[in-house]
């Protein structure tokens, strides 16, 4: 089975009727790149940079980060590499960086909220990413954006860092693409306001599901309520895609849901062709994709839209499920 799947690494990712997909990899360290490439990843759709900051006793400096991001860009050889700025807080902490004790960490001090408060830390990371952008096709992704003000602040800081680099004659990709994670319901609701200010959206279903359903993704007591197929989630996905289409933006999905073969008909129905997933899921998803057709899924939305529970949604999706190798 493993060998049959492995043989798909070189096969183009498309449906039977020719709808082409990008199946990219989520990575935490550059060590994951080798397997990503071996599994035929179209790029890195999500580089979770927080792992570069974890399990050590001080902040990684610019040069160290630059070296890592440059390696990712170079090793992917011109394929896109989406680097997400630091996403600590919530479930991820740093030993050397004191964060407040919080009653509700996932509703607390995390991700872009920390970066916008600690601009030195943020600028160091942005400098490293920009410098590395000269060596491949890097994109920047901000986590946990929930308002226009946050996005504007982040972009203003990015502009100032670009200005600094220009002043120092350091090369970087001047037209580097900048996107935001869509993982807070507020971002979905104001997606059409956010869209003109970015180059792409990346839907983070892990957090989006937790926040839509008010179910802590780390809390085992309520784990049975954590349901990516809940009708509310499907409606949020649709709304995000519509806002992106109106603004002519690329939209990808990078949460765990992207690697779940049951969700494939949803992407086909919504017109999402850009997925990023754990390195281990790429070939399985491709195998299902190769057996799917756009035509067969175009009518499915009406069926899904009528479902009043996640269970009913999964029942519909199961009818379209294609077997593993
Ligand atoms: C997500 O929230 O869906 C996501 C991809 O980010 P993370 O899992 O790192 O929070
Ligand atoms: Mg997230």
- Read off the pLDDT of residues 220-254 as tens digits, 9 standing for 90 and up: 999 999 999 999 999 999 999 999 999 999 999 99
Ligand nearest to the CA of 50: 1
ipTM of this complex > 0.95? yes
- Nearest Cα residue to 316 out of 281, 264, 271, 277: 264
Query: Which pLDDT belongs to residue 26?
Result: 98
CA 203 – ligand 1 centroid, Å: 9
User: What's the pLDDT score for residue 298?
Assistant: 83
Among 254, 258, 260, 274, which residue has the most ligand 1 atoms within 8 Å of its CB, making it the best to mutate? 254
Q: Look at residue 324 and tell me whether its pLDDT is greater than 90.
A: no
**pLDDT exceeds 70 at position 28:** yes
Residue 51 alpha carbon to ligand 1 centre in Å:
13
Mean pLDDT for 62-79 is 98
Please give the positions annotated as active site: 254
- Residue-wise pLDDT tens digits, 121-174: 999 999 999 999 999 999 999 999 999 999 999 999 999 999 999 999 999 999
Reduced to 3 states (helix: H, G, I; strand: E, B; else coil), residue 46 is strand
- Predicted pLDDT of residue 90: 83
Q: Supply the residue whose CA is at minimum distance from atom 9 of ligand 1.
A: 48
Question: Torsion angle of alpha carbons 117, 119, 123, 124, nearest 10°?
Answer: -90
pLDDT tens digits for 76-132? 999 999 999 999 998 788 999 988 899 999 999 999 999 999 999 999 999 999 999
**How far is Cα 180 from Cα 186, in angstroms, rounded to an integer?**
13
Q: Are 179 and 82 in contact (CB under 8 A)?
A: yes
Overall pTM surpassing 0.80 (yes/no): yes
Residue 138 and residue 176 in contact, taking contact as beta carbons nearer than 8 Å: yes
For residue 288, name the pLDDT band (cuts at 50, 70, 90).
very high
Residue 302 marked as a ligand binder: no
Whether pLDDT at 325 is above 90: no
Question: Is 217 annotated for ligand binding?
Answer: yes
The residue-averaged pLDDT of 180-191 equals: 98
> 232, 284, 227: which is closest to 257 by C-alpha?
227
The answer to the question of whether 235 is labelled as a binding residue is: no
| 213 or 321, higher pLDDT | 213
- Closest ligand to 209 CA? 1
Percent of the chain at pLDDT exceeding 70:
100
From the list 26, 19, 9, the residue with the least C-alpha distance to 203 is 26
Q: What is the mean pLDDT of the chain?
A: 96
Query: Cβ < 6 Å from ligand 1: which residues?
Result: 46, 48, 87, 183, 204-207, 254-255
């Amino acid at each position: 089975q493993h060998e049959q799947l492995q043989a798909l690494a070189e096969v183009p990712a498309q449906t039977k009727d020719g709808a082409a997909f990008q199946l990219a990899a989520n990575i935490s360290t550059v060590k994951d790149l080798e397997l990503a490439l071996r599994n035929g990843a179209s790029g890195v759709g999500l580089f979770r940079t927080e792992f570069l900051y974890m399990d050590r006793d001080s902040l990684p400096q610019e040069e160290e980060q630059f070296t890592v991001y440059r390696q990712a860009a170079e090793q992917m050889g011109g394929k896109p590499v989406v680097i997400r700025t630091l996403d600590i807080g919530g479930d991820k902490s740093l030993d050397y960086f004191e964060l407040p004790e919080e009653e509700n960490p996932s509703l607390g001090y995390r991700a872009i909220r920390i970066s916008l408060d600690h601009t030195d830390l943020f600028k160091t990371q942005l400098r490293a990413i920009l410098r590395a952008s000269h060596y491949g096709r890097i994109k920047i992704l901000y986590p946990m954006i929930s308002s226009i003000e946050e996005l504007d602040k982040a972009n203003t800081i990015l502009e100032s860092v670009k200005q600094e680099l220009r002043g120092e004659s350091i090369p970087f990709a001047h037209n580097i693409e900048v996107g935001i994670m869509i993982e807070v319901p507020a971002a979905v609701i104001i997606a059409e306001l956010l869209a003109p200010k970015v180059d792409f959206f990346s839907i983070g279903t892990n957090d989006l599901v937790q926040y839509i359903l008010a179910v802590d993704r780390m809390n085992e007591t309520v784990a049975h309520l954590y349901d990516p197929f809940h009708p509310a989630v499907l409606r949020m996905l649709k709304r995000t895609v519509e806002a992106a289409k109106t603004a002519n933006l690329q939209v990808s999905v990078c949460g765990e849901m992207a690697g779940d073969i049951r969700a494939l008909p949803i992407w086909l129905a919504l017109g999402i062709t850009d997925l990023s997933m754990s390195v281990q899921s790429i070939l399985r998803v491709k195998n299902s994709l190769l057996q799917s057709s756009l035509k067969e899924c175009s009518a499915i939305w009406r069926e899904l839209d009528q479902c009043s529970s996640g269970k009913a949604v999964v029942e519909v999706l199961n009818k379209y499920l294609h077997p593993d190798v």
